[in-house]
């Protein structure tokens, strides 16, 4: 498991999230409203956020040799490369994403949906599925989305 975001506050004081991939804070200003304000990471969280960010980057680059070499050579890894590698790692089950949210307070839900859209596999990403017809016993192959 790899955290993609950290909570801003906890329990009754849970008020937002920090996206570790984008390094941005999202503060929900109205109770129960999905509207948020993009904000800087609170200074008191800098060391924690940087530690989790470094762990996230290392876990992602370890899943692709090319990115690992870039990382070890000190080259900059773009946001697109990170997102693409994260998506591949999730699809291949090398990484399992974890995100904080509260459906009751409507906090972090949009971030989860964004990551679902950008990083989780769609049905057409799957390989053919094989099954046996229950009556004819014929082996059938079906491609998702067709």
pLDDT at 60: 98
SS3 3: strand
pLDDT at 35: 82
**What value, to the nearest 5°, has the Cα angle with vertex 108 and ends 64 and 26?**
90
Q: How many helices (H) and strands (E) does the chain have?
A: 4, 8
In degrees and rounded to multiples of 5, residue 36 shows phi and psi of: -135, 165
Which residues on neighbouring strands pair with residue 70, listed in sequence order? none
| Distance between CA atoms of residues 14 and 27, nearest Å | 10
126 within 8 A of 119, measured Cβ to Cβ: no
111 within 8 A of 103, measured Cβ to Cβ: no
- Entry pTM: 0.84
| Distance between CA atoms of residues 146 and 136, nearest Å | 22
Task: Give the residue from 25, 62, 26 showing the smallest Cα distance to 46.
Answer: 25
The per-residue pLDDT string of the chain (146 residues; one tens digit each, 9 = 90 and over) reads 999 999 999 998 999 999 999 999 999 987 767 788 999 999 999 999 999 999 999 999 999 999 999 999 999 999 999 999 999 999 999 999 999 999 989 999 999 999 999 999 888 777 888 999 999 999 999 888 76
For the chain, domains (ranges, CATH) are 2-142 (3.40.50.300)
pLDDT at 30: 77
């Amino acid at each position: 498991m790899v955290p993609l975001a950290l909570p801003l506050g906890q329990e009754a004081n849970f008020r937002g999230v920090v996206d570790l991939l984008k390094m941005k804070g999202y503060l929900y200003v109205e109770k129960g409203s999905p509207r948020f304000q993009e904000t800087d990471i609170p200074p008191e969280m800098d060391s924690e956020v940087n530690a989790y960010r470094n762990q996230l980057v290392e876990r992602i680059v370890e899943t692709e040799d090319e990115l690992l070499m870039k990382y070890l050579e000190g080259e900059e890894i773009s946001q697109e490369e990170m997102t693409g590698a994260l998506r591949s790692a999730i699809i291949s089950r090398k990484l399992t994403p974890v995100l904080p949210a509260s459906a009751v307070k409507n906090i972090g839900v949009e971030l989860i949906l964004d990551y679902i859209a950008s990083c989780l596999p769609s049905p057409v990403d799957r390989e053919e599925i094989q099954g046996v017809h229950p009556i004819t016993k014929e082996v059938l192959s079906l491609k998702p989305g067709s």
